[in-house]
Amino acid sequence: MTRFLLRRAATALAVVAALSALCFALLDLAPGSPAFSILEARSGGRPPSPAAVKRLERDMGLHDPLPVRYGRWAADAVRGDFGDSYATGRGVTETLADTVPWTALLTAVAVLLSVAGAIAVGTAAALTRRAWLRRGIETALFALGGMPGFVAALLLLWVFAAWLRWFPSGGPLRPGEPVTLAGVAPHLVLPAVALAFGHHFGTYARLVETGVARLRTAPHVENARARGLRRRTVVVRHLLRPGLVPFTARLGVGVGGLIAGAYATEMIFSWPGVGRQAILAAREQDYPVLTAVVLVTGVIVVLANLLGDLAVAWLDPRVRLTTPRGGSA
């Protein structure tokens, strides 16, 4: 276990380092000048002079070679300092501290809804003897699989916020309301549901259905039934636990897609998270914010994959976390 964790931690650090370097280089190649955008914003929209742009670029260190700038940024990032926003002048770390918790809350609730829904729907489709129910579930999953996440978000917004008025249309709180669980919960329902069921839910449910269905007549399941175990015990211990292995392995990878989907969802529902901040930063060429967001997102995806591997090993004891001597992982 220790060797496995150390090996995966080293791989994760290498992936995050490569991701940050690639993002830094690509943003450096982007058209336009951050100094131009900053001076234009300060002057109320009037184009700045070329001399003023060059002077600010020199003060910002943008004339230094790319490896020098990346090394300087990486050294500060290791200490938790991601620089200052080009657009607002505020520290990027402070901006992340204000936005990451909102995205973490939205994503965590969406993951819980997606996992619970996929297990319930997939298990029902695998175990039901009613053909009409199985066909209905497959039709619903096909429709969800072909619907983009932002379309699901807009439909939920139109039906439950604009038409029925059951839930707020956007934002995490009412204006002037303090941050409390009771105040945030109604605002969280629609974006969390849109994110949970608008991204990969059909794939998750089918993986559960396939994993459970292939074990329904397995010898160990038949043996458990013959011993007179309760149906619930047979389903949970002998069907679900090994049957969820393909779904769990896919879930770790799918967290990255879920976070990417959160960007559009946060914009549609005016949710003050990292995704919304990243889109606003892209419009303003606020590269320090964009680089930090990509780095934080990469760390979350790497951790999700690691947790997915650990969960697979727990569900299936045949999966070995240690590498055999002379073999490879």
pLDDT at residue 120 greater than cutoff 80? yes
What is the 8-class DSSP label of residue 65?
A: -
Cα separation, 144 vs 152, whole angstroms: 9
Q: If we measure between CA atoms, which residue out of 246, 200, 204, 192 comes closest to residue 118? A: 204
Any idea which residue has 């060059």 for tokens?
54
For residue 328, name the pLDDT band (cuts at 50, 70, 90).
very low
Domain map (residue ranges) of the chain: 92-315
Share the mean pLDDT of the chain.
79
Reading the block at residue 180, the tokens are: 């409390």
Question: Which uninterrupted H or E stretch holds 294?
Answer: helix 287-315
What is 92-315's CATH number, 1.10.3720.10, 3.90.1150.10, 1.10.260.30, 3.40.50.1220?
1.10.3720.10
Each residue of 44-67: pLDDT tens digit? 667 778 888 888 778 777 777 888
Any idea which residue has 């059951």 for tokens?
166
pLDDT at residue 325 greater than cutoff 80? no
Cα separation, 91 vs 81, whole angstroms: 8
Each residue of 257-275: pLDDT tens digit? 777 778 788 888 888 888 8
